[in-house]
């Protein structure tokens, strides 16, 4: 049994906790909380051990919450930490906890890959560079958008290779997650320097890729519009869709009118945390025009990266072949089943 601790219990941490605590190969150490609030109650109700910074133990106890120990204790007794800290905090955790105690860690996509606060020298995408993570000590799991782009681009690269000249992606990003308390601002905001382009190039280095990102007032998933330019005439719509018929974590759907339909359906169907854990290609608006294919797919922002973390964990810890890891991840998240259900619901 591998002892795993999840440092953070926000949108990503709580989903990781649900999944990892059900994995029979894992002895789940618990989660970390840094603020005394209702989420502590939720974690305790889920029977997770709660660890907090040493200096805050008394504040949590005064708040009426039972605390198992300090974050440092939890890291000490773990074989690997999945860091789910709020964006940018992972670096300090690495320096103050993981490195001094020689503990391997997985970081999330909000952490830096380059520069003074880089936490790792690799970004993982299970479709592209799963085996490269085998046995590594520190790896970043690509963010939801970056994971989605890799999942769509790699099958196309394998099928059409250098017939593809260029990718342009417009990321239409949700403002906040469903559980976030922050207000959704009525504005469309642009990102002057989206990190996604460089992040994808970390694992698909030769991609001629250009990304623009816009944040819109919605809580319901991201939508990517990807323009793929071919040398000469582009392949037919059928040929493009064929690439994705057996892709893990990709659903092909037709009748959704927007991202909200997909999210609400996942909630209605009782999927854990209302997540589909995948990208959904909207084939009704997939167009082929001259040398260009236009694919639009929605990307389950909160759910996408959870099975990705599970895949990465298996590569780092067990160095397991990808096919075998995928089977285990599928069994834990029921992704093939969810895909079948979504394709039927939105046919």
Interface residues with ligand NAP (CB under 6 A)? 7-13, 32-35, 39, 84-87, 89, 93, 108-111, 143-144, 177, 301-302, 305
Nearer to ligand NAP, 83 or 261 (CB): 83
Shortest Å, Cβ 93 to ligand NAP:
5
Q: Classify residue 86 as exposed, middle or buried by CB count within 10 Å of its CB (0-12, 13-18, 19+).
A: middle
Nearer to ligand NAP, 6 or 226 (CB): 6
What is the rounded CA–CA span in Å between residue 280 and residue 266?
Answer: 12
Shortest Å, Cβ 165 to ligand NAP:
30
- Helical axes 144-160 vs 196-203, angle rounded to 10°: 50
Residues with Cβ < 8 Å from 54, sequence gap 6 or more? 70, 71, 72
Nearer to ligand NAP, 177 or 291 (CB): 177
Cα separation values, 130 from 133, 140, 185, 244, Å: 6, 12, 37, 19
Shortest Å, Cβ 11 to ligand NAP:
4
What is the rounded CA–CA span in Å between residue 198 and residue 210?
Answer: 9
Find, among 196, 198, 233, 201, the residue nearest to 215 by Cα.
196
Nearer to ligand NAP, 228 or 306 (CB): 306
Which residue is closest to ligand NAP by CB?
A: 10
Tell me the β-bridge partners of 169: 211, 226
Shortest Å, Cβ 163 to ligand NAP:
32
Shortest Å, Cβ 319 to ligand NAP:
25
Contact call for residues 110 and 117 (beta carbons, < 8 A): no
Shortest Å, Cβ 159 to ligand NAP:
27
Nearer to ligand NAP, 75 or 326 (CB): 75
Nearer to ligand NAP, 108 or 276 (CB): 108
């Amino acid at each position: 049994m591998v002892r795993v601790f999840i440092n953070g219990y926000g949108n990503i941490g709580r989903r990781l906790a649900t999944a990892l605590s059900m994995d029979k190969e894992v002895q789940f150490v618990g989660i970390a909380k840094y603020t005394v609030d209702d989420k502590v109650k939720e974690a305790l109700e889920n029977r997770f051990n709660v660890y907090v910074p040493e200096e805050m133990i008394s504040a949590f106890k005064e708040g009426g919450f039972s605390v198992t120990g300090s974050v440092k204790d939890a890291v000490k007794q773990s074989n690997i930490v999945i860091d789910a800290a709020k964006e940018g905090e992972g670096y300090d955790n690495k320096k103050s906890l993981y490195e001094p105690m020689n503990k391997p860690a997985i970081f999330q996509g909000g952490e830096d890959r380059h520069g003074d606060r880089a936490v790792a020298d690799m970004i993982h995408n299970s479709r592209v560079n799963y085996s490269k993570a085998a046995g590594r000590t520190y790896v970043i799991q690509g963010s939801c958008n970056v994971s989605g782009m890799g999942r769509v681009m790699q099958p196309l690269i394998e099928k059409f290779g250098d017939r593809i000249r260029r990718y342009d992606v417009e990321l239409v990003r949700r403002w906040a997650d469903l559980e976030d308390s922050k207000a959704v601002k009525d504005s469309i905001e642009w990102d002057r320097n989206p990190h996604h382009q460089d992040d994808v190039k970390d694992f698909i280095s030769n991609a001629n890729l250009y990304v623009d990102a816009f944040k819109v007032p919605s809580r319901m998933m991201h939508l990517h519009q990807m323009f793929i330019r071919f040398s000469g005439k582009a392949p037919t719509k059928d040929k493009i869709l064929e690439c994705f018929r057996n892709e893990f974590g990709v659903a092909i759907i037709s009748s959704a009118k927007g991202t909200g339909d997909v999210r609400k359906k996942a909630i209605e169907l009782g999927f854990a945390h209302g997540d589909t854990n995948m990208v959904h290609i909207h084939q009704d608006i997939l167009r082929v025009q001259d040398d260009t294919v236009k694919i639009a797919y929605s990307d389950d922002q909160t759910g996408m990266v959870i099975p990705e973390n599970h895949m990465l964990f298996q590569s780092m810890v067990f160095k397991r072949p990808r096919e075998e890891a995928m089977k285990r991840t599928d069994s834990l998240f029921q992704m093939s089943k969810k895909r079948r259900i979504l394709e039927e619901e939105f046919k």
